């Protein structure tokens, strides 16, 4: 049985692989993402490599093996189903479920997760718009534009928020930018690093490019 730490590392590597362009995830990136010392990540990566869960190229980085990917996706499934459960059944706010899910993902049994999946009607998206992997490990791919590269002055619906940090989600929530809400991008100014939006919910809002790129949308 994988330990909690191993599950967290695998999930982290999976997520870094997704957004990063190159094939290999450097150990330093893992260390930063998990808030551990660089040497700690290196040590764990060796353990994972010895267990056949990653392919490790010293001084380059790691890549999940097939076994590692399977495990990571399973953890991610539990995480996202738990998040949705906390929102829909428990009534927690979508912007504050991540921390709880990060602990519960290691404690829920297969039996329990199957019941939750059933209760929620086999959902495909979590409260942040992230895809929920299927029980067999399939993750739906999607390529929504974000607020930096989508069309200007065109109605869009928020599809996904790709940053789970509580502070960021609270900001997003404060500006009425929760998934499902409608908006259009009024203008962008690269020099000022500003994206001006018109949100159906909260009126005019201005975001930096960094923040704007984390909000994925779907044209209507």
One residue of 43, 89, 152, 165 binding its own copies per CB under 8 A: 89
- φ, ψ of residue 92 in degrees (nearest 5): -80, 165
Nearest approach in angstroms of CB 107 to its own copies is 4
| Residue numbers 64-123 binding Mn ion by CB under 5 A | 83, 102
What sign does the CA torsion over 43, 44, 50, 53 have? negative
Site string for DNA, 19-38 (x = CB under 7 A): -------xxxx-x---xxxx
- Piece of the chain touching its own copies by CB under 8 A; list 11-19, 68-76, 99-107, 165-173: 99-107
Q: How far is the CB of 113 from Mn ion (least distance, A)?
A: 14
| 3-class DSSP assignment, residue 106 | coil
Q: Which of 33, 42, 135, 145 binds DNA (CB under 7 A)?
A: 42
| Sole binder of its own copies in the list 76, 84, 116, 147 (CB under 8 A) | 116
Alpha-carbon distance of 58 to 42, in angstroms, equals 9
Q: What is the DSSP letter of 199?
A: E
Residue 130 binds which entry of DNA, its own copies, Mn ion, none, CB below 5-8 Å type-dependent: Mn ion
Specify the stretch interacting with Mn ion by CB under 5 A; choose among 23-31, 35-43, 127-135, 183-191. 127-135
- For DNA (CB under 7 A), the number of binding residues is 27
Which DSSP string corresponds to the chain?
A: ---HHHHHHHHHHHHHHHH-SSSPBPHHHHHHHHT--HHHHHHHHHHHHHTTSEEEETTTEEEE-HHHHHHHHHHHHHHHHHHHHIIIII---GGG-HHHHHHHTTT--HHHHHHHHHHTTS-SB-TTSPBPPPTT---------BTTTSPTT--EEEEEE----HHHHHHHHHTT--TT-EEEEEEEETTTTEEEEEETTTEEEEE-HHHHTTEEEEE-
For position 46 contacting DNA by CB under 7 A, the verdict is: yes
Of the pair 5, 139, the CB lying nearest its own copies is at 5
User: Pick from 18, 20, 23, 43: which binds DNA (CB under 7 A)?
Assistant: 43
**Per-residue binder mask for its own copies (CB under 8 A), 119-158, x = binder:** x---------------------------------------
Chain positions contacting Mn ion, by CB under 5 A: 8, 83, 102, 126, 128, 130
Chain positions contacting DNA, by CB under 7 A: 3-6, 26-29, 31, 35-47, 56, 58-61
């Amino acid at each position: 049985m994988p330990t909690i730490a191993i599950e967290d590392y695998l999930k982290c590597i999976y997520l870094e692989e997704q957004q990063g362009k190159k094939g290999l995830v450097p150990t330093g990136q893992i260390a930063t993402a998990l808030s551990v010392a660089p040497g700690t990540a290196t040590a764990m990566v060796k353990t994972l490599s010895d267990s056949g869960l990653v392919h490790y190229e010293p001084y380059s980085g790691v890549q999940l093996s097939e076994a590692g990917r399977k495990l990571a996706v399973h953890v991610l499934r539990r995480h996202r189903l738990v998040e949705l459960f906390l929102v829909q059944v428990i009534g927690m706010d979508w912007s504050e479920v991540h921390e709880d899910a990060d602990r519960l993902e290691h404690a829920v049994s297969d039996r329990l997760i199957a019941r939750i999946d059933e209760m929620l009607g086999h959902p495909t998206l979590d409260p942040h718009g992230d895809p929920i992997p299927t029980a067999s490990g399939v993750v739906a791919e999607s390529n929504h534009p974000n607020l930096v590269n989508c069309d200007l002055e065109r109605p869009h619906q928020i599809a996904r928020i790709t940053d789970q940090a509580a502070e960021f989600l609270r900001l997003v929530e404060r500006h009425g930018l929760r998934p499902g809400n409608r908006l259009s991008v009024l203008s962008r100014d690269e020099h000022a690093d500003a994206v001006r939006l018109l949100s159906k919910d909260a009126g005019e809002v201005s975001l930096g490019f960094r923040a704007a790129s984390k909000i994925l949308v779907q044209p209507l």
